[in-house]
Amino acid sequence: MTETFLIVGGDAAGMSAASKAKRDDPDREVVVLERGEWVSYGACGLPYYVKGEIDDLEDLVAIPAERFQEERDIDLRTGHEAAAIDPEDQTVTVETDERTYTQSYDELLVATGARAIAPPIDGLDRDGVFTLQTMEAGRELKEYVDAQAGDTVGIIGGGYIGIELAEAFRGQNLDVELFEMRSHVLEPFGSEVAKTVESELRDNDVAVHTDTRVDRVAGDDRVRTVITPDGKFPVDAVLVAAGVQPRVELAESAGIDVGPTGALATDQYGRTNVESVYAAGDCAEIIHAVTGDPAHVPLALTANRAGRAVGATVAGEPTPVGEIAGTAVLKAFDLEVARTGLLEDERLREAGFDPVSVSITAASRAHYYPGGSEVEITLVGDADSGAVLGASMVGKEGVAKRIDTVAAAIQGDMSVTDLAYLDLSYAPPFGPTWDPVLTAAKVLGGKLS
Amino acid sequence: MTETFLIVGGDAAGMSAASKAKRDDPDREVVVLERGEWVSYGACGLPYYVKGEIDDLEDLVAIPAERFQEERDIDLRTGHEAAAIDPEDQTVTVETDERTYTQSYDELLVATGARAIAPPIDGLDRDGVFTLQTMEAGRELKEYVDAQAGDTVGIIGGGYIGIELAEAFRGQNLDVELFEMRSHVLEPFGSEVAKTVESELRDNDVAVHTDTRVDRVAGDDRVRTVITPDGKFPVDAVLVAAGVQPRVELAESAGIDVGPTGALATDQYGRTNVESVYAAGDCAEIIHAVTGDPAHVPLALTANRAGRAVGATVAGEPTPVGEIAGTAVLKAFDLEVARTGLLEDERLREAGFDPVSVSITAASRAHYYPGGSEVEITLVGDADSGAVLGASMVGKEGVAKRIDTVAAAIQGDMSVTDLAYLDLSYAPPFGPTWDPVLTAAKVLGGKLS
CATH number reported for the structural domain that contains residue A397 in this entry: 3.30.390.30
Burial B197-220 (b: 16+ CB within 10 A, else e): bbebbeeeebbbbbebebeebebe
Residue B68 domain-assigned?
no
Residue type, A373: S
Q: For residues A401 and B395, give the distance between their C-alpha atoms in angstroms, rounded to a whole number.
A: 14
If you write DSSP's letter for every residue of A246-297 in order, what string do you get? E--HHHHHTTPPB-TTSSBP--TTSB-SSTTEEE-STTB-EEETTTSSEE--
Q: Is the pLDDT of residue A51 over 90?
A: yes
Please give the pLDDT value at position B148: 86
Q: Residue B216: pLDDT band by 50, 70, 90 thresholds?
A: very high
Other Cβ atoms less than 10 A from the Cβ of B348: the count is 22
pLDDT tens column, B263-288: 999 999 999 999 999 999 999 999 99
Same domain flag for B254 and B108 = yes
Cβ of A407 within 8 Å of Cβ of B429? The answer is no
Q: Residue A43: pLDDT band by 50, 70, 90 thresholds?
A: confident
Residue A72 domain-assigned?
no
Chain A: residue nearest B320 by CA? A421
Cβ of B409 within 8 Å of Cβ of A408? The answer is yes
Same domain flag for B220 and B161 = yes
- Backbone angle region of B245, left / alpha / beta, with phi > 0 → left and psi within -120 to 50 → alpha: beta
> Which of A42, A48, A366 is the closest to B45 by Cβ?
A366
Same domain flag for A217 and A306 = no
- Most B-contacting residue of A19, A20, A423 (CB-CB within 10 A), to test interface: A423
> Which of B54, B398, B421 is the closest to A322 by Cβ?
B421
Cβ of A426 within 8 Å of Cβ of B323? The answer is no
Same domain flag for B137 and B227 = yes
Cβ pairs A/B, distance under 8 A = 223
Mean pLDDT, residues A438-442 taken together: 98
Q: Is the pLDDT of residue B1 over 80?
A: no
Mean pLDDT, residues A32-46 taken together: 92
Same domain flag for B206 and B158 = yes
Looking at the annotation, which residues of B are catalytic? Answer: 44
Q: For residues A144 and A50, give the distance between their C-alpha atoms in angstroms, rounded to a whole number.
A: 10
- Most A-contacting residue of B290, B423, B443 (CB-CB within 10 A), to test interface: B423
pLDDT tens column, B226-267: 999 999 999 999 999 999 999 999 999 999 999 999 999 999
- Most B-contacting residue of A330, A401, A414 (CB-CB within 10 A), to test interface: A401
Residue A51 domain-assigned?
no
**A366 interface with B at CB cutoff 8 Å:** yes
Q: Residue B137: pLDDT band by 50, 70, 90 thresholds?
A: very high
Same domain flag for A107 and A149 = no
Please give the pLDDT value at position A221: 87
Q: Is the pLDDT of residue A1 over 80?
A: no
Chain B: residue nearest A164 by CA? B427
> Which of B289, B414, B425 is the closest to A400 by Cβ?
B425
Residue B428 domain-assigned?
yes
pLDDT tens column, B324-333: 999 999 999 9
Residue type, B280: A
Q: Is the pLDDT of residue A94 over 80?
A: yes
Looking at the annotation, which residues of A are catalytic? Answer: 44
Q: Residue B143: pLDDT band by 50, 70, 90 thresholds?
A: very high
Cβ of A326 within 8 Å of Cβ of B423? The answer is yes
Mean pLDDT taken over chain B: 96
Please list every residue in chain A whose beta carbon sits closer than 8 Å to the beta carbon of residue B409.
Answer: 408, 412
Cβ of A62 within 8 Å of Cβ of B367? The answer is yes
Q: What percent of chain A has pLDDT over 90?
A: 96
Domain that holds residue A195: 129-240
Same domain flag for B415 and B443 = yes
Please give the pLDDT value at position A133: 86
Q: Is the pLDDT of residue A395 over 80?
A: yes
Please give the pLDDT value at position B150: 87
Q: Are A142 and A53 in contact (CB under 8 A)?
A: no
Residue type, B394: V
Q: Per 3-state DSSP, what percentage of chain B is helix, strand, and coil (rounded to 5)?
A: 30, 30, 40
pLDDT tens column, B54-105: 999 999 998 999 999 999 999 999 999 999 999 999 999 999 999 999 999 9
Same domain flag for A428 and A352 = yes
Q: Residue A149: pLDDT band by 50, 70, 90 thresholds?
A: confident
Taking the CA of residue B419 and the nearest CA in chain A, the distance in Å comes to 8
Residue B166 domain-assigned?
yes
Same domain flag for A110 and A157 = no
**B392 interface with A at CB cutoff 8 Å:** no
Q: Residue A148: pLDDT band by 50, 70, 90 thresholds?
A: confident
Residue A267 domain-assigned?
yes
User: What value of ipTM does the predicted structure carry?
Assistant: 0.97
Angle B191-203/B160-171 helices, nearest 10 degrees?
10
Please give the pLDDT value at position A442: 97
Residue A268 domain-assigned?
yes
Spell out the residues 6+ positions from residue A430 whose beta carbon is closer than 8 angstroms to its own. Answer: A365, A398, B329, B331, B336, B400, B401
Largest CA distance in chain B: 70
Same domain flag for B144 and B221 = yes
Q: For residues A9 and B438, give the distance between their C-alpha atoms in angstroms, rounded to a whole number.
A: 25
List the one residue out of B270, B405, B321, B326 whose CA is nearest residue A421.
B321
Please list every residue in chain B whose beta carbon sits closer than 8 Å to the beta carbon of residue A398.
Answer: 400-401
Please list every residue in chain A whose beta carbon sits closer than 8 Å to the beta carbon of residue B330.
Answer: 427
| Number of separate domains in chain A | 3
pLDDT tens column, B9-44: 999 999 999 999 999 999 999 999 999 999 988 889
Q: Residue B363: pLDDT band by 50, 70, 90 thresholds?
A: very high
List the one residue out of B215, B243, B225 whose CA is nearest residue B158.
B243
Taking the CA of residue A260 and the nearest CA in chain B, the distance in Å comes to 22
Mean pLDDT, residues B357-365 taken together: 97
CATH number of the CATH domain containing A276: 3.50.50.60
Domain stop point among B203, B220, B240:
B240
**B427 interface with A at CB cutoff 8 Å:** yes
> What does the DSSP 8-state code read for residue B127?
B
**B299 interface with A at CB cutoff 8 Å:** yes
Mean pLDDT, residues A255-259 taken together: 98
Q: Is the pLDDT of residue B157 over 90?
A: yes
Cβ of A322 within 8 Å of Cβ of B423? The answer is yes
Cβ of B398 within 8 Å of Cβ of A400? The answer is yes
Please give the pLDDT value at position A41: 85
Cβ of A369 within 8 Å of Cβ of B304? The answer is no
Same domain flag for A235 and A278 = no
Same domain flag for B12 and B100 = yes
> What does the DSSP 8-state code read for residue B426?
-
pLDDT tens column, A294-308: 999 999 999 999 999
**B367 interface with A at CB cutoff 8 Å:** yes
- Most B-contacting residue of A23, A46, A368 (CB-CB within 10 A), to test interface: A368
**A363 interface with B at CB cutoff 8 Å:** no
**A324 interface with B at CB cutoff 8 Å:** yes
Residue B49 domain-assigned?
no
Domain stop point among A198, A213, A240:
A240
